[in-house]
Structure 1
Amino acid sequence: MTSADTNDIEFRSVTKRYGAVTAVSDINLSVPKGAFVALLGPSGCGKTTCLRMIGGFEQPTEGSVLIGGASMNGVPAYRRPVNMVFQQYALFPHFDVEANVAYGLKQLRPRLAASEISRRVGEALEMVRLGGFAKRRIHEMSGGQQQRVALARALVNKPSVLLLDEPLAALDKKLRTAMQIELQTLQRDLGITFVLVTHDQEEALSMSDVVCVMNAGRIRQLASPKEIYDNPTDLFVADFVGKTNRLSATVDPADGSVTLANGKRLETAKARTLKAGEATVALRPEAIRLTRPSDKNGAQLEGTVTHRIFLGSAAEYSISVPGLGDLLVTAERRGTSDSDLVEPGETVAMNFNPGEAHIFPA
């Protein structure tokens, strides 16, 4: 177990049950001080339950949750050094911005002087770039501004840990991207631990230092965003994080070969580490290089384009490959010429580096 001096949050063999339902099962987790951690997974995987146990809204059935090295078991939410930003922000509509941010400070005992509350509210609003909005009513604020009010209210008490429960889910894509950058900048400036719950893979990969991928109440992989994407530990992680083509194959570790379901043989050192038998090859769409028939000499695969999704700087193609089914391929555009785009119905050749494919037992 890592020292409590370097961890803000620890889960020690934590299990949470609701009657006969086990929401979280025997989780061990250490979150370093000052980290930005994303709990990522599908609905019902246990990520929100973990967040609520950190915040004190739920208590573990078994095991211990520690913050700053101290056990939080039985400690109510209002006595923990954490604050939470909820998905719907939970702002008071009948208060102005200043009163919303000041609410938590006014609950502290012994009471703070009015001048101290005003000073700290002003600092918090400046921190989220809302310095001139103290007297605005909540209904007069945009979605992004309301999100920043919720952040200021959570930060004004100077928590050791800030919990974020899908706080960007209600924003449109452009505003969500802008707020992702703002949250990253704020976290770096403050140096406190952020724990984000999300089911959005792009959000988790772009914002966090550490990603914790969960499924069925367990941690499947805990690593940096790059490690999660480039080296998934199992087929669930490879399939859930980003887009992945799944190809049926058989492995022969004796000669380091993988034979795809269409009979195509690939050689890769990864095959030598696996047991002989059926396997699944996971291949990212961007790892496949697309060429036209005139360039297909020696191509590993050939197929027919069935659909194209134009993305501006790139295009996604669904390609029917005999013996393998439909493959998704992402191709970057070299310029604005129409010749960069392949039309549905065209026959294409495909190549990839077998070392970029991930191989898992079937």
Structure 2
Amino acid sequence: MASASTNDIEFRSVTKNYGPVTAVKDINLNVPKGAFLALLGPSGCGKTTCLRMIGGFEQPSEGTVLIDGREMNGVPAYRRPVNMVFQHYALFPHFNVEQNVAYGLKQMRPRIAAADIDRRVAEALEMVRLGGFAKRRIHEMSGGQQQRVALARALVNRPSVLLLDEPLAALDKKLRSAMQIELQTLQRDLGITFVLVTHDQEEALSMADIVCVMSAGRIRQLGAPQEVYDHPADLFVADFVGKTNCIEAKMEADGATLRLADGSAIPAVKRVATDEAIVAIRPEAIRLSRERTAHGASFQGVVTHRIFLGSSAEYAVNVPGLGDFLVTADRSTMNDNDLVAPGEAVFLGFDPAAVHVFPASTA
């Protein structure tokens, strides 16, 4: 039965209660073998609870958790084919690198021969590019190196599933970006299932091949990163994943026109079931210029702030009657003379096809 499963992890109508509080409500989730899944959402959304139920640190109140087709309800953490890398790594400070990585192997029963332990530890350290660090003390390691020690310790037991509980949160931005690439490469090389918990949308989109957006204990959208970003299932996903501008609007009776708060109108590419709607548009989908554009929707406003980001610039633009817009301009399409200063009058243009429309009641 287990070998017939094409999924490494399955949640079947899983609910988790902590007394009167429901942390996870009726979750159904299938994670294919060898996938890199990111559980993404704000604090308290239930993502860590899901991770802990996979790892065996929590048991579901209702429903079933399966790993490789086998029911895991009631199976303790140490009996599951999973391992976890914690946010703060949980390394033993009194052990050196080699001893930390070998610790789990030495607890296994029946016992593993010392020569086999040494070989597997060496292989795990080579896997994370720490081959020459076996005798190094933990306090002598950088943050990125400690993170790789924690990875080696988790991988040395050859788990079917590796659980990552915000493992990059303690790293600086540059090191975090480097470790994102390393984790992706490692996951592809090993071919095992990774499950990452994060509240960092950029981390989820850049690393995972499946993103599960959660809110209030439920799954709001599950799909490939590009799908989740380009085609958000609802207003929560559109607002949480990436940056977006939200405008109140009313759907005209003809169903073809959206009337905005300032009285202007744009074509309704998508019809919603209610009259009250929210128009959402990504900052990078808006064109900023000093002259009115001839095509698409156009608004006039004043730049209130400019944030220079090197490869791009972000502008806050106030449009009378509509409020503040965030606009991202890619510097590859402009020169220094095109940078707009705060206080300048500008026009904002966008293609109505780039707009997402959601019922206001789902805000």
Asked if Structure 1 and Structure 2 have the same fold, meaning a TM-score greater than 0.5 normalized by the shorter chain, the answer is: yes
Amino acid at match of 1:171: L
> In structure 2, do the counterparts of structure 1 residues 34 and 334 end up closer, same or farther at CA, with 3 Å as the change threshold?
closer
Aligned to 1:292: 290
Aligned to 1:262: 262
Contact 2:269 2:352 (8 Å CA) reproduced: no
CA distance in 2, matches of 1:76, 1:97: 27
| TM-superposition CA deviations, 1:11-35 (whole Å, max 9, x none) | 0000001111110001000000000
The list of structure 1 runs, each at least 4 consecutive aligned residues, that deviate by more than 3 angstroms after superposition, is 295-299, 334-337
| TM-superposition CA deviations, 1:315-341 (whole Å, max 9, x none) | 100000011000000011247843121
| Matching of residues 1-362 of structure 1 within 5 Å | 5-252=5-252, 254-271=254-271, 274-293=272-291, 295-296=292-293, 300-334=298-332, 337-362=335-360
TM norm structure 2: 0.96
SS in 2 for 1:270: coil
Contact 1:264 1:300 (8 Å CA) reproduced: no
Q: How many residues align?
A: 357
Contact 2:274 2:359 (8 Å CA) reproduced: no
Contact 1:102 1:121 (8 Å CA) reproduced: yes
CA distance in 2, matches of 1:159, 1:144: 22
| Range with bigger deviation, 245-254 or 160-169 | 245-254
SS in 1 for 2:186: helix
SS in 2 for 1:8: strand
The Cα shift of 1:269 comes to 3.0
What is the percent sequence identity of the aligned residues?
75
CA distance in 1, matches of 2:200, 2:43: 11
Structure 1 gap ranges (5+): none
Amino acid at match of 2:63: G
RMSD: 1.3
CA distance in 2, matches of 1:357, 1:265: 13
> In structure 2, do the counterparts of structure 1 residues 52 and 255 end up closer, same or farther at CA, with 3 Å as the change threshold?
closer
CA distance in 1, matches of 2:38, 2:333: 36
Contact 1:253 1:275 (8 Å CA) reproduced: no
The Cα shift of 1:254 comes to 2.4
> In structure 2, do the counterparts of structure 1 residues 184 and 124 end up closer, same or farther at CA, with 3 Å as the change threshold?
same
SS in 2 for 1:343: coil
Amino acid at match of 1:327: F
| Range with bigger deviation, 202-211 or 251-260 | 251-260
Structure 2 gap ranges (5+): none
